[in-house]
Amino acid sequence: MRVIRGIVGVLLALIGLVVAVVGGVAAFWLIGPDDTVQSGEQALSSKGLAVASTPDLLNRHGPVLHVDVRSTKNQPVFVGVARDFDVSSYLKGTAYTKLVQVQYPIALTTQDAKGTAGPLAAPDTLDWWVTKANGAGTQSIAWPIEDGPYDVVVMNADGKTAPATQVNLGIEIPHAFRTALVIFAVGIVLLALGILLVLFRRRPKKAQPTGGATTQVLYPQDNSQSSQPQYPQYPPAQQPGPAGPQQPQGPPPGRPPVPAGPQQHPQGQPGSRPPAYGQPPQRPPVQGQPPQQRPSGGGTVRRIVGVGLAFGLVTGCSAIPEPNSVKVLTRPAITDAAAVAVIKHYNDVNNKANSTRNSKLIATIEGGNLVRESQAGYTIDQYAKAKPMTAFTYTKSVIGAPEFGSYPMRFVSSSGISDNPKYRHVGLWERETAGSPWMLTFAAGVPTTVKLPDLTGVRPATKADDTRLAVAPQLAATSLATYLTGGTKSPRAAAFQPNAQITSLLAGIVNNRAEKAKQRGSTRGISDDFAAPSQSPAFVTKSGTAVVFVSLTHEYTLLPGANWQFWWAGMPENAFSPATVKYQSSLTSTTIHDAVLLIPPKGKIQVASFESQLIEAGGY
């Protein structure tokens, strides 16, 4: 037992020493009272325009991420966290550095991604960052890591120059310091217990003094007939003892002899030999009870280790970050506050561009067919020497921002018009990439007499909506083009509610053909072809009605007859083709018609708005 106790003690001491060292190092060197594991300040730079972590680097959520960044060249720096699809779109095609591994507390592993030299949009101007810091000196963020693919981005604030920074990364794990202290304490307890087991020795029992001759214990004869107990007699003083050195006879000086109690043979074992001299007699086991065993130190050790592990698990489970389970992230295209800021910026730039008819300036806030329409309008106004447009603004905007997980992203708005209370402005805004500005790509004036559905909470239309609506959104767009091309007798006309603008357009087409027909031989043919784009943005509102934004292209062609020539005789076509220019092969023009369609679950398609803008005229 002594050897086993020593072995167990040494093992406990070694285990306790290791556990105590691990807990102490973790508590007082790696973590500290702020529960944060720090990487220490590390050099982090890029030959490109940014340093961005990969989603695998933040593959657990729960802890708080701390990032401190400062430039080694005294340049303003930026640090931010965003969803991976935003960061990927922002840096796509641009040279930058990937941060692929952090080995706490001292090592960062990076890889270079090839691409162009940029520049990138200044990161602080973008509205999709989850958290960010921007400016001179040390910039810091603290972000509770969320479930899903997120990236950390470090770059210079201008988005144009390569960053050279010193970065300190920290992970704040709740209760990590307390857990480390518990581990340290358990290690100390195990170490102390091991030392005690090694040093502890059971004190031996003191032997009975026997004098010079060994006292012989005699078993009495069977005296069952006598009621008086029989005591063994000491041997005579002159009786020689066992061979060996002679000891003083009799009890120790000053202590009387102690008589022994009655002795009997072990029950059930008659004739057993008496116990050896100098050894206590063996007591027989009580019938029906197992023989008693000496408690071993193993049970105590198991209890201590078990309690320590249980306490460590209870206190430390909250310190273990959960692995990420969300693989794909989405988000609203824009917040209401950011959308209002986008519209306000548009108001300012639009009025400035309109006042000077600056085609380049208007192209910074408008895109798609809309910017072609605005620039064409500037050309027509300049040719007509019209006064600049009066300044106006879009007010009290209602925002509909659907969820997106990729680019391009869109949101819709319904706003009042400061100088025209009879109409509401309905706009479609688009961002092509994460680094692109928001652009107005579709604009229409809807009469206030038309009841628009609530645009808040809209979502992009899907294939599943094709069966829920009276007409699939894309089919409605192509049906409108077919209807206008074929006129009022088109089989598609019955799917639409009558609209004043469409009725006027179709009447104009009929009148033009009638006039040319009066001049026999003057024309070989006239065509008005309307085409819908391959995709028309469509959104489904909370009421179930779909809102579809359709930009139709109208190509007008007149083929002159033999020995005939035609020219544009009036506005607005003269802005692109003066009356002095004659055409003998063909007379052409291109017009864009913007239509807002409302498709209910049942019933006809309503044309909420229909506006036209000539963008080109000429011929051959």
For residue 21, the model assigns a pLDDT of 87
- For residue 417, the cross-strand partners are 394
For residue 174, the model assigns a pLDDT of 74
> Does an H or E element contain 548, and which?
strand 546-560
For residue 179, the model assigns a pLDDT of 81
Cβ count near 299 (within 10 Å): 9
DSSP annotation string for 313-327: HHHHGGGSPEEP---
Phi and psi dihedrals of 419, rounded to 5?
-105, 10
As given in the structure block, the two tokens for residue 470 are 């009276």
- Contact in structure between 426 and 454 (CB atoms under 8 Å): no
For residue 245, the model assigns a pLDDT of 44
- Contact in structure between 384 and 365 (CB atoms under 8 Å): no
- Contact in structure between 154 and 50 (CB atoms under 8 Å): yes
For residue 180, the model assigns a pLDDT of 80
Query: Given the structure tokens 């072995």, which residue do they identify?
Result: 7
Tell the burial category of 75 from Cβ atoms under 10 Å away from its Cβ (0-12, 13-18, 19+).
middle
Calpha distance 55→46 (Å, rounded)? 19
Residue 20 to residues 2, 16, 197, 312, 318, Cα–Cα distance (Å): 26, 6, 18, 13, 21
As given in the structure block, the two tokens for residue 549 are 């934004």
Which is it for the CA torsion 85, 537, 589, 372, positive or negative? negative
Q: Please give the model's pTM, rounded to 2 decimal places.
A: 0.75
Calpha distance 131→123 (Å, rounded)? 12
As given in the structure block, the two tokens for residue 568 are 């544009």
For residue 201, the model assigns a pLDDT of 60
10-residue mean pLDDT series, the chain (620 residues): 77 86 75 75 94 94 94 97 98 96 76 94 96 97 96 97 94 78 87 82 57 44 44 44 44 43 41 42 46 39 36 44 93 96 98 97 98 98 94 97 97 97 97 97 96 96 96 97 95 92 96 93 96 97 97 98 94 96 97 98 96 97
Calpha distance 76→155 (Å, rounded)? 9
As given in the structure block, the two tokens for residue 617 are 């005229």
- Contact in structure between 198 and 13 (CB atoms under 8 Å): yes
> Does an H or E element contain 59, and which?
none
Classify each residue of 326-346 as buried b or exposed e, where b means 16 or more C-beta atoms within 10 Å of its C-beta: eeebebbbbeeebbbebbeeb
For residue 85, the model assigns a pLDDT of 98
Peptide bond into 572 cis (omega under 30): yes
For residue 351, the model assigns a pLDDT of 98
DSSP annotation string for 372-416: HHHHHHHHHHHHHTPPPPPP--EEEEEEE--EESSSSEEEEEEEE
Query: Given the structure tokens 């799917």, which residue do they identify?
Result: 495
For residue 223, the model assigns a pLDDT of 44
- Contact in structure between 112 and 47 (CB atoms under 8 Å): yes
What's the N-to-C CA distance of the chain in angstroms? 114
